[in-house]
Structure formats: C-alpha cells, structure tokens
Chains A and B, each alone.
Chain A
Amino acid sequence: MNPYYFASIALILIGLYAVLTKRNVLKILVGLSIMETGVNLLLISVGYVSGRSAPILSEGITPDRAVDPIPQALVLTAIVIGVATTAMALSVVINLYERYKTLNVEEIRRLRG
C-alpha cells in the first residue's frame, strides 16, 4: 500500500483537529493550511502510477509511459487558490486584532457588538 495515502489522510485529520479544537485564530489558519497540503498530496498520489515518469514530452517518453497529468494541473491551480485565501484570511485576522486586541475566538465572540 502506498504510504502517501496514509500521510495525506493523516495531514487532513491533523488540520481538522486544529480547526475544531484550537482557540487562537492564527493556529486555526495554520491547521487550515496543513489540511490544504494534505488534500493536494492526496490528489497527486491518486494520479501516480508506479514505475512511470513525469508527464513531460521528451526523448523516449510516450504518453503511455507517463503518470496522469490532469491531477497535477488541478493541484497547481489549488495551491494558488489556497495561498490567496490564506493571505486574505490573514488580513482579516490583522483587522480583528486591531479592533479587539485579542486573538482568542471566544473572547472575540463575547466582545462582539
């Protein structure tokens, strides 16, 4: 069995644990980023075929000797979307800290209004 499947599922579960149980907003964003890395690794390892080479057209590499290129294009898009959402969430966190002077989500919920 492929060890990459276990690692990607473990990364998704660790990120989900951080999102559900941590109270610091920045720690929640770290968990979200780890979960995103796990999803990307799962997609890439689904498209991998053992013993084949990278899908770059070169001497001696025919399409039946390369791995699946479609999940790689998908993950390339997903990485860029992930870093864009992370940057936007961090700017929201900076605005929250300047307004409430705390990063604890429960205190922010109590101070709202």
Chain B
Amino acid sequence: MNDWVAIFITALMVISAIFAVEWRDLLAAVIGMAAVSLFASIAFFFLQAPDVAMVEAAIGAALSAAVFIFAIKRTERYESEEEGTGWWARW
C-alpha cells in the first residue's frame, strides 16, 4: 500500500513539473512549480526526513513562489508567442 502511495506522489510530481515547464502563463507556471515543491515535501515525509519536509514546505512552496510572483508583478506575465515562422524569424 505504501508503494502505491509513493508511485502516486511521484507521478503527480512529474506531471506538475511538465505542466510548470509547458504553460505559457508564467503565473500558472509558478503555481506548477509550487505544486512540485509541495509533492516533494510529502515525498520527503514518506522518506523519513521530517525536518527537510518542513523546510521544503515553508521555503520551496511558499517563499520561493512568493518571490517569483513579486518578480512577475514587476515584469510581464505572459510568455511571448513567436513560433511557426522558422529559425530565420528569430534573428
């Protein structure tokens, strides 16, 4: 039963990492990154490391996402679309 919990947590972690990389809305990407940190915190708790789990939940999921959101507020939110024309359009 514990093995199935481990497989479930790691699968959720990998899926949210893929979404965090692929979403073009940077705010959504930061939420995906915070979800990766949250599932990593649960995985640390199952790997018998409760101190690392506490630090990861506080710093990785809360503080890091907050700092990213402040940076997005000072810059721009959406990643620009430039695909579909070919490599010469990027020069």
Residue ranges of A at the interface with B (Cβ–Cβ < 8 Å): 2-4, 6-7, 10-11, 14-15, 17-18, 22, 24, 26-27, 29-31, 33-34, 37, 40-41, 44-45, 48, 52-56, 66-67, 72, 75-76, 79-80, 83, 86-87, 90-91, 93-94, 97, 103-104, 106
Contact = CB atoms under 8 A, between A and B. Distances in A.
Interface string B29-46: 110110011001001100
B75 A75 contact: no
Contacts of B30: 30
B51 A72 contact: yes
Contact of B72 (A11, A26, A86): A26
Contacts of A90: 67-68, 70-71
Contacts of A97: 74-76
A24 B56 contact: no
Bin the interface of chain B by size.
35 or more
Contacts of B48: 48, 52-55, 66-67
Contacts of B59: 79-80, 83
10 nearest CB pairs, A to B = A7-B10, A90-B71, A97-B75, A18-B21, A54-B48, A24-B79, A14-B17, A48-B47, A3-B10, A67-B48
Among the interface residues B6, B10, B70, which one has the most CB atoms of the partner chain A within 10 A?
B10
Given A11-B17, A34-B21, A86-B67, A79 B55 contact: yes
A30 B33 contact: yes
Contacts of B52: 40, 44, 72, 75-76, 79
A79 B56 contact: yes
22 contacts: A3-B3, A3-B10, A4-B43, A7-B10, A7-B13, A7-B43, A11-B17, A14-B18, A22-B21, A27-B29, A29-B68, A30-B20, A30-B26, A34-B21, A34-B33, A45-B47, A53-B48, A72-B51, A83-B67, A93-B71, A103-B75, A104-B80
